[in-house]
Amino acid sequence: MTKKSLLLVLVITMIISKSQSQSNIYTPELLWKLGRISELQLSPDGKTLLFGITYYDVEKNKGSRNIWTMSVDGSSLKKITDTEPSEQNAVWRPDGKKIGFLFPVDDNMQLFEMNPDGTDRQQISHIKGGIEGFKYANDMSKILFTQSVKLDKNAQDIHQDMPKANVLIADDLMYRHWNAWTNYSYSHVFIADYPNMKNIVDIMENERFASPIPNFGGMEEINFSPDGRKIAYTCKKKVGKEFSLSTNSDIYIYDIENKTTTNISAPNAGYDIDPVFSPNGTLLSWVSMQTDGFESDKSRIFIHDFNTHQTTNFSADFDASASNFVFSKDEKILYFLSVTKGTTQIFALNIAKKQINMLTQGQHNYHNICVANNCIYALRESMQYPADVFVVDLKKKTQTQLTCINKDLLQNIASIDVKERWITTTDGKQMLVWVILPPNFDSTKKYPAVLYCQGGPQSAVSQFFSYRWNFQVMASRGYVVVAPNRRGVPGFGQEWVNQISLDYGGQNMNDYLSAIDNIAQEPYIDADKLGCVGASYGGFSVYWLAGHHQKRFKAFIAHCAMFNFKSWYATTDELFFANHDLGGAFWENPQPQSYDFSPNNFVEKWDTPIMVIHGGNDFRIPYTEGLQAFNIAQMKGIPSRLLYFPEETHFVVKPQNSIVWHREFLNWLDKFLK
């Protein structure tokens, strides 16, 4: 072989090798090929698991969710539906002989049932206007469901001779919420005879309140008692301005026979949500937050004893939040989830002894737990792996993976490495920082690094696998990702969470800088190529750091972020958040000091390329916040780019929009950091 031929072979080999290495990493396109597992359910006999898996078709720009079953030992995995559109809210019927689910009929969701193998699909309900969620009574004599009931007048009701008028008329707040304008309706809880769906009763008749609580509440907020005689439901019985200013929701018990409603959480001023009956119905647990207006207060374990009429706080000595409650069959143990040191683990409360023990450990997050036969079945994920079904054997103390739904897609994909790093903050505290290393990491090379700023602000920087802010995709592009558990995030005690309120430009910003400065000293980091990215509060952090970073960063990306606290306060939906974390309205005298932290106060110091991203249907942080930031960057001559998604909300969830988002995001970093 001649030298020229040999050189040609080497060049071709290098090209093929490079192409293969690029194809064997996480990409935005790969992210949208992954199956997404959700809504894990356990059959009444404890032998079979039920769950949904959603797959997305990028070309069609939508997803399809189908139902699967599997034996609890991980065998007999079977897809039992294959339809478009998707089945929703799939649950076992209490006798285990059928699976109930919601499916659209003439644009309205109706209740269907099928055999556990997917055969014999039959429509059960024919409710005008459809239903939004449902649950069976244990004896199957009744069924409850939720439906939106129109109680407020719209323009056509007021001006009946103008049927084509398109106008919203409002006399109170909450005329829009999170991502939607008001439809003049409220979700109510109904009960009906089963299976004929007759004798329908609206247990909230004429109430201008909603259950579940909009906008993120689901059927976990409503439950039958085991004997089918009562319904426990969650409701924030406030409207308009009062709804916007308060988090005070309560747990209501509706007696089906007597048609009476009792508020059993009335003494508490904050959120009370997610009631769960014990197997024999003598106990009721729920999540309770103490402070009205503070949506991230400690989520406490409250249990009410119907025999003694006493309600007990079991979290008095537990310095963390709790959620996802499940009673043991003998009612002695309450299992739950809690964030601890950057992970979400399974815990157990011994009710009689008032003792709490952590049952799992490891670099992962658990969610959606089910309990039977001394085993806990749950979904588990990490920054490295999307969610799959795991079983925790309480006797053997083992954690075993039962599914690997994305095995074929991921078996040849090079994964990231996630390192746990503890650093000392400016006030002498120890802070956990996740350091995410690129695939095939080589410590002898130098890599650009990206500081990830978490949203919330009181949201955990735990072992989540995100389909939006995905660390696999970022690191696979060749970036070291630095993700600090800065002040304000849960998992390190409530004092750590509480500190951030009223101090947005204070200690948590020092925490960010401490993290990136510490990691930038590593020999494998190119300290001249640092970026900073974040969404929501994380996006605010980006805007704030843009005026205070002292030349540390070469590129910024802010998604759906607060830019001007005054304009944001005057346009957001739920004002309790702003009042708690900023200290009140900007027109108060004296003005709360928190307004001094508003990023628009520091734009004279902006000098670094910045990308601004916003969704048109984000009503928590309206898109005009992003326009202000982008316009100012443009007027100052700073390299800047605007991504505006008219149909998206606080998140970008449509497949093609998301892929464009990821491409633009990564290209922006590449442009200034590589």
Residue 173 — pLDDT band, cuts 50, 70, 90?
very high
pLDDT of 10 above 80: no
Which tens digit of pLDDT belongs to each residue from 426-480? 999 999 999 999 999 999 999 999 999 999 999 999 999 999 999 999 999 999 9
SS (H, E, C) 624-655: HHHHHHHHHHHHCCCCEEEEEECCCCCCCCCH
CATH topology of domain 414-673: Rossmann fold (3.40.50)
Element (H, E) at 473: helix 471-476
Residue 2 — pLDDT band, cuts 50, 70, 90?
low
Q: CA torsion sign, 508 to 510 to 515 to 520?
A: positive
Question: What's the CA gap between 672 and 670, in Å, rounded?
Answer: 6
Question: What's the CA gap between 479 and 481, in Å, rounded?
Answer: 6
pLDDT of 482 above 70: yes
Prediction pTM value: 0.95
Domain borders along the chain are 324-412, 414-673
pLDDT of 581 above 60: yes
What's the pLDDT score for residue 84?
86
- CB burial readout 366-401, b (16+ within 10 A) else e: bbbbbbbeebbbbbbbbbbbbbbbbbbebeeeebee
Question: What's the CA gap between 247 and 581, in Å, rounded?
Answer: 14
Q: What is the mean pLDDT of residues 599-624?
A: 98
Same topology, domains 324-412 and 414-673? Answer is no
User: What value does the mean pLDDT of the chain take?
Assistant: 95
pLDDT of 12 above 70: no
Q: CA torsion sign, 194 to 200 to 203 to 204?
A: positive
Taking a C-beta distance cutoff of 8 angstroms, is the pair 234, 213 a contact?
yes
Kind of pairing between the strands at 610-615 and 640-645: parallel
Q: Percent of the chain having pLDDT more than 70? A: 97
Residue 268 — pLDDT band, cuts 50, 70, 90?
very high
Question: What's the CA gap between 568 and 627, in Å, rounded?
Answer: 12
Residue 600 — pLDDT band, cuts 50, 70, 90?
very high
SS (H, E, C) 105-118: ECCEEEEEEECCCC
pLDDT of 357 above 70: yes
Specify the CATH architecture of the domain 324-412: Beta Barrel (2.40)
**CA of 323: how far to CAs of 4, 299, 336, 377, 636, in Å?**
67, 7, 6, 16, 47
What's the pLDDT score for residue 18?
43
Contacts 24+ apart (CB under 8 A), 259-262: 259/201, 259/203, 261/203
Strand partners, 149: 186
Residues with catalytic function: 536, 618, 650
Q: Residue 624 carries which side chain, given as an amino acid letter?
A: T
pLDDT of 321 above 80: yes
Strand partners, 323: 337
What's the pLDDT score for residue 621?
98
Which tens digit of pLDDT belongs to each residue from 67-105? 999 999 999 999 999 998 899 999 999 999 999 999 999
